[in-house]
Amino acid sequence: MGRTRILAGIVLGLAVSVAAQADAKSIKQSKLPAAVLRSAEEQVAGATVTGYSTDKVNGVVTYRMDLVSEGKTRGIVMDKEGTVLAVEQEVAWNDLPADIQKTFDTVKTKGELGAVSTVHENGTLVAYVAYLTTKTERNLVRVKPKAADAAATGTK
């Protein structure tokens, strides 16, 4: 029963995440709204920017800045006012909670799993994500953390 719920959550997360990213478009830094550019500059702090994109999710335009810092990727999603909505940070496999590793291990049997990242919204850990590549497609796998995982990161 528990395994069925986990797999159902992964499938639901796949559908929502893949649909949400379907319309993302690359954008030049010079085309960012001034407020987004100011916020982006504050977020860089020693990292290298690898790109910017814009997307429209549920009628709301968002902007994403992709970075690399200390060999790990980070994505920062902002609204048009420059408010940070979400931060996606690559995390080492050994730093993942055991239950999250186990869930991703189950998924890995279906294809090749890319790097795993944490997703924080408003400072709260809301998911672990990674791309799963099979022979025919690439899908984003999203796993919801347990409350204990979120508390361990200093968030709710």
Q: Per-residue confidence of the chain (156 residues) as pLDDT tens digits?
A: 444 344 334 433 433 344 444 568 999 999 999 999 999 999 888 899 999 999 998 888 999 999 999 999 999 999 999 999 999 999 999 999 999 999 999 988 899 999 999 999 989 999 999 999 999 999 999 999 985 454 444 433
The pLDDT assigned to 39 comes to: 93
Residues 6 or more apart whose Cβ sits within 8 Å of residue 80:
33, 35, 36, 61, 63
Do residues 142 and 129 make contact, with C-beta atoms less than 8 angstroms apart?
yes
DSSP lists the bridge partners of residue 62 as: 55, 79
For residue 79, the domain's CATH number is: 3.10.450
List, in sequence order, every beta strand (DSSP E) within the chain.
25-27, 48-57, 60-69, 72-79, 84-91, 112-113, 116-121, 124-133, 138-143
Domain that holds residue 147: 2-152
The pLDDT assigned to 147 comes to: 56
Looking at the structure of the chain, the number of domains it has is 1
The pLDDT assigned to 109 comes to: 87
Q: Which run of H or of E encompasses 91?
A: strand 84-91
Do residues 86 and 103 make contact, with C-beta atoms less than 8 angstroms apart?
no
Separation between Cα atoms, residue 12 and residue 10, nearest integer Å: 5
Q: How far apart are the first and last CA of the chain?
A: 27
Do residues 147 and 17 make contact, with C-beta atoms less than 8 angstroms apart?
no
Separation between Cα atoms, residue 65 and residue 52, nearest integer Å: 5
The pLDDT assigned to 5 comes to: 42
51 token code pair: 């790109």
